[in-house]
Amino acid sequence: MNFALILFILVVVSGIAWIADRYYFAPQRRKVGIDRMPLWLEYTAGFFPVICAVFVLRSFIVEPFKIPSGSMIPTLQIGDFILVNKFTYGIRLPVINQKVVDLGSPQRGDVVVFRYPRDESIDYIKRVVALPGDTITYQDKRLTVNSQPLQYSGGEHYLDPENMRYAKRFAESFPAGLGGNQHEILNDPDRPAGMFPAERFPGFENCQYINAGLTCTVPAGHYFAMGDNRDNSADSRYWGFVPDKNIVGRAFFVWLNLGNLGRIGGFE
């Protein structure tokens, strides 16, 4: 279901009714001394200001999402309700998601929501780990970007609640020259490091797959995104690069988790 399209249609229909009432029906009612709107106008024109406000807020400022899977554990948990900033990377037209005002672009380490390249009706959330033109290597469960290895610390055991398996929790840090972002990831030492995509994807020729990982050069206008739960995430390693045109916004705040109210707050 394309909620943005449904909301847009409601705005158009209620807006037409609101204009019609303001400039035609309301003056006619005043002439005959009737104050109350007919029922059909109450449920169309009467709701226009609210529907319009929701449409503008959701399309250009912030949009709520719910985390459906454990691919971003430990940063985000299943059941987290999050807010996504819609203008950090520019202003886009609703429904078609076409950028009309460029205000910035995703940076390494940003958690972004985007339309899944293989089915744009589905929204995905992952962490950007490489930008257009970057060369990324994922080898033995460690990242290197532009020949600069990321730093890892920690390694304590962590129970992955989705799989009920113990993994190791690390702090992963980009070097200062790559933005310096630090965040947490999970790695399962019992899961193999190698991977191979189920099918070829646009830009597949930019990647080399080996037994223990891969090396890819990110095409112009695209990003390489990975889940923080590295052994339980379907991401760019398997289905390819994220086009800039698919970016929805930057996730930045957990506003509710019904199972754990302590989850509320910002995250990196």
Query: What pLDDT is stored for residue 1 in this prediction?
Result: 60
Give yes or no for a contact between 128 and 107, defined as CB atoms under 8 angstroms apart.
Answer: yes
- Catalytic site residue 71? yes
| Active-site pick, 14, 59, 71, 236 | 71
> CA of 224: how far to CAs of 52, 131, 160, in Å?
35, 7, 24
Place of tokens 């972004």: 112
- Catalytic site residue 147? no
pLDDT digits 0-9 by tens, 22-41: 999 999 999 999 888 899 99
> CA of 43: how far to CAs of 5, 19, 50, 152, in Å?
19, 14, 12, 57
pLDDT digits 0-9 by tens, 92-128: 999 888 999 999 999 999 999 999 999 999 999 999 9
Query: What pLDDT is stored for residue 190 in this prediction?
Result: 87
Other beta carbons within 10 angstroms of residue 215's beta carbon come to 15
Query: What pLDDT is stored for residue 19 in this prediction?
Result: 96
Other beta carbons within 10 angstroms of residue 155's beta carbon come to 12
Residue ranges of the chain with pLDDT lower than 50? none
| Active-site pick, 14, 59, 86, 126 | 126
Which residues lie below 8 Å from residue 160, measured CB to CB, with a gap of 6+?
A: 70, 73, 166, 167, 186, 188, 229, 232
Q: Per residue in 69-103, is it b (16+ CB within 10 Å) or e — as a string?
A: bbbbbbbbbbebbbbbbbbbbbebebeebeeeeee
Query: What pLDDT is stored for residue 196 in this prediction?
Result: 79
Query: What pLDDT is stored for residue 77 in this prediction?
Result: 95
